[in-house]
């Protein structure tokens, strides 16, 4: 059986494990990083947050979302006009109990 000598064993190469391994290495420690997947970086890098945000940003760019005004000017309600007269509250019959 092979023997290894490390100061720190980091389990998982996600954002936390990655930072911990780098910081320990900067402090002169011998670090081993263990990842269950074939690729380093964890779920955040490969299937989670970063790919999701990238896809979202690409969709927003391609649809021109950022170039549009916050309040759409072509809203059907914005240019709607009413034909009824203003409501006169005195003309409404009130039932008294």
Q: Across-strand partners of 31?
A: 8
The residue among 39 and 23 whose pLDDT is bigger is 23
* 22 in a structural domain: yes
What is the C-alpha to C-alpha distance for residues 62 and 55, in angstroms, rounded to an integer? 11
Is residue 13 within a helix (H) or strand (E), and if so which, with residue range? none
Residue 12 lies in a domain: yes
Residue 24: which domain range? 8-69
Q: Are 12 and 40 in contact (CB under 8 A)?
A: no
Q: Of 57 and 22, which is predicted with more confidence?
A: 22
Q: How many helices (H) and strands (E) does the chain have?
A: 3, 2
Within-domain flag for 81: no
Classify residue 95: in a domain, yes or no.
no
Report whether pLDDT(47) > 90.
Answer: no
Structural tokens at position 82: 């009413």
> What total number of domains does the chain contain?
1
Q: pTM to 2 decimals?
A: 0.47
Q: Is residue 14 part of a domain?
A: yes
């Amino acid at each position: 059986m092979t023997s290894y000598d490390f100061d720190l064993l980091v389990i998982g190469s996600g954002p936390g494990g990655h930072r911990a391994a780098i910081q320990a290495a900067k402090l002169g420690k011998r670090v081993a990083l263990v990842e269950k997947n074939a690729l380093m970086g964890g779920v955040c890098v490969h299937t989670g947050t970063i790919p999701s945000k990238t896809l979202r940003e690409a969709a927003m760019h391609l649809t021109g979302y950022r170039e549009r005004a916050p309040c759409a000017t072509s809203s059907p309600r914005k240019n709607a006009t009413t034909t009824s007269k203003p409501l006169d509250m005195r003309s409404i019959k009130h039932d008294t109990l």
